[in-house]
Amino acid sequence: MGKNTGKVEHRIFNPAMECISRDELYALQSERLRQVVRHEYDNVRLYRERMDAKGVKPEDIRTVEDLKYLPFTEKSDLRDEFPYGLLAVPQEEIVRIHGSSGTTGKPIVSGYTRGDVDVWSEMMARTLTAAGCSREDIVQVAYGFGLFTGGFGAYQGANRIGAMVLPMSSGNTQRQIMMMQEMGSTILCCTPSYAVYLGETIREMGLDPAKDLKLKAGCFGAEPWSEAMRKRIEELLCIDACDIYGLTEICGPGVSYECLVKEGMHINEDHVIAEIINPATGEPLPYGQEGELVFTTITKRGMPMLRYRTHDLCSLTDKKCECGRTLARMGRITGRTDDMLIIRGVNVFPSQIESVLVGIHGVAPHYMLYADRVNSADTLEIQVEMTEEMFSDTVSEIEAVQRKIFESVKSVVGIATKVKLVAPKSIPRFEGKAKHVVDRRKL
Ligand code: AMP
Ligand code: ZN
């Protein structure tokens, strides 16, 4: 399997499912698809109306091949049906809500039954096991705990394995490092950018991870990263770094996960069906071709999703992996079809910022967002044009407007930004679709 530290053992949490034959998997997926389509049609108005509009009845969907007849689901559907409109079970069966930012100030939320939490825990147990985690391990969870799915997802997976969990949540780097050292953490779960920051801080403190820490592997995801960043994390922390992918709408982290071969993320296909479509036409594309990733959940009961468009771009392969798993793999996310940015783990849409700016007196609706990475942390600067009147105002008046924008963006979008008011007509104008984002982060 090459290029590994050799510190972690090859393990599979649920070989019966993770190494299932493709034929058996197809039959299982088809069976579960029939059930979920019936469940949605009977219990969720939106799906019933959409299927009726297309002239599709639940009994028309027999196998995975028939997926293409089903309507798509979009993030805007979750926003429009916020908070409970897409629940497919009575509210008293829901035991948990998670959420993340949508295209407006309102979050999008997903509801979980007890069974949904169990399924998600299994998916995350497979994920951590694929990175070498066993019940002897000490798992430091430095993903945030809260509405965000990262912290709880990693916690539940480690819990299912029977490993010992340190639910640190994100931030407080000195304390993370102290606990890592004193408790002897062996597995780290956090965003890749935070892993780099932790690694750099550990080195600056004069610690040698090979001697002073017991870390051996990590599961990193929730934002895009690259092979170069993997190399950096592995060198800084002396670990094997595995990629993990997920999204709130589907369950959270653990939708797919890398094994130690590190050549793509195995999709938990007994729980979700993945498709790649042409983002412009919606037509399904064959394995190997890059396009937009679409998921249908086939075991979720609380808020299942039919053909959810992730807007993430990647390709799939069902080539057998050296690790022995038969589950198809998705490649790294290479981009998005929309303009969503992930800044320090928070999904940010330019439209959210625009909605704040239009409500502020003294600025024109011309703005540009600059994303940078400073000391391994993401920063976002908002440059917005002043109106002519504001331009002739005093410095303190201009500063007051900047502060107002900062506060409003912080409360609506949930992140601190740099705000700079610039001279009228200094932001470039576009003849076609306006461009509002410059992402200068090198991944
Ligand atoms: P959220 O629902 O807030 O967790 O955000 C989900 C989004 O985060 C996905 O649709 C992706 O755009 C991004 N994401 C999650 N994991 C990864 C990953 N491993 N690589 C790249 N992007 C990721
Ligand atoms: Zn594998």
Q: Is the CB of 221 under 6 A from ligand 1?
A: yes
- Rounded to 10°, the helix 350-358/395-413 angle is 130
Cα→Cα distances 301→25, 90, 115, 124, 337, Å: 20, 11, 8, 18, 29
Spatial distance between the Cα atoms of 245 and 239, rounded to a whole number of angstroms: 19
Hey, is 192 helix, strand or coil? Answer: helix
Q: Is the CB of 347 under 6 A from ligand 1?
A: yes
- Rounded to 10°, the helix 227-237/192-204 angle is 30
Span from the CA of 310 to the centroid of ligand 1 (angstroms): 9
**pLDDT recorded at residue 222:** 94
**pLDDT recorded at residue 166:** 98
**pLDDT recorded at residue 394:** 87
Span from the CA of 155 to the centroid of ligand 1 (angstroms): 18
Own/partner pairs for 14-18, CB < 8 Å, 24+ apart?
14/122, 14/125, 14/126, 15/324, 17/270, 18/126, 18/266, 18/325, 18/326, 18/327
Minimum-distance ligand to the CA of 243?
Answer: 1
The four Cα atoms 343, 339, 371, 373 give a dihedral, to 10 degrees, of 60
**pLDDT recorded at residue 398:** 92
pTM, two decimals, is 0.93
Nearest CA, atom 3, ligand 1: 100
137 with 182: CB under 8 angstroms?
A: no
The four Cα atoms 247, 243, 351, 370 give a dihedral, to 10 degrees, of 160
Nearest ligand 1 atom to the CA of 220 is: 19
DSSP string, 9-24: ----S-HHHHT--HHH
One-letter amino acid at 250 equals I
Residue 277 CB: number of other CB atoms within 10 A?
19
Minimum-distance ligand to the CA of 126?
Answer: 2
Span from the CA of 239 to the centroid of ligand 2 (angstroms): 18
Nearest CA, atom 15, ligand 1: 222
**pLDDT recorded at residue 89:** 98
Nearest ligand 1 atom to the CA of 221 is: 19
Nearest CA, atom 20, ligand 1: 224
Nearest ligand 1 atom to the CA of 310 is: 10
**pLDDT recorded at residue 2:** 46
Q: Is the CB of 247 under 6 A from ligand 1?
A: yes
Span from the CA of 257 to the centroid of ligand 1 (angstroms): 12
Per-residue pLDDT tens digits for 377-399: 999 999 999 999 888 888 899 99
**pLDDT recorded at residue 81:** 96
Spatial distance between the Cα atoms of 307 and 415, rounded to a whole number of angstroms: 30
* pLDDT beneath 70: ranges in the chain: 1-2, 105
Span from the CA of 46 to the centroid of ligand 2 (angstroms): 37
Span from the CA of 392 to the centroid of ligand 2 (angstroms): 62
Could you tell which of 74, 109, 245 is best to mutate to test the pocket of ligand 1, judged by most ligand atoms within 8 Å of the CB? Answer: 245
Nearest ligand 1 atom to the CA of 347 is: 3
Q: Is the CB of 152 under 6 A from ligand 1?
A: no
Span from the CA of 23 to the centroid of ligand 2 (angstroms): 19
380 with 348: CB under 8 angstroms?
A: yes
Span from the CA of 246 to the centroid of ligand 1 (angstroms): 6
Q: Which neighbouring-strand residues pair with 274?
A: 295
Span from the CA of 98 to the centroid of ligand 2 (angstroms): 29
Nearest ligand 1 atom to the CA of 150 is: 4
Q: What strands lie across the sheet with 418-422, from one edge to the other? A: 418-422, 377-386, 363-374, 437-439
Report the alpha-carbon angle 68-70-71, nearest 5.
Answer: 115
**pLDDT recorded at residue 435:** 84
162's tokens:
């029977």
Q: Is the CB of 243 under 6 A from ligand 1?
A: yes
Contacts of 361 by beta carbon, 8 Å cutoff, 6+ apart: 401
**pLDDT recorded at residue 393:** 84
**Residue 83: is the preceding peptide bond cis (ω within 30°)?**
yes
260 with 222: CB under 8 angstroms?
A: no
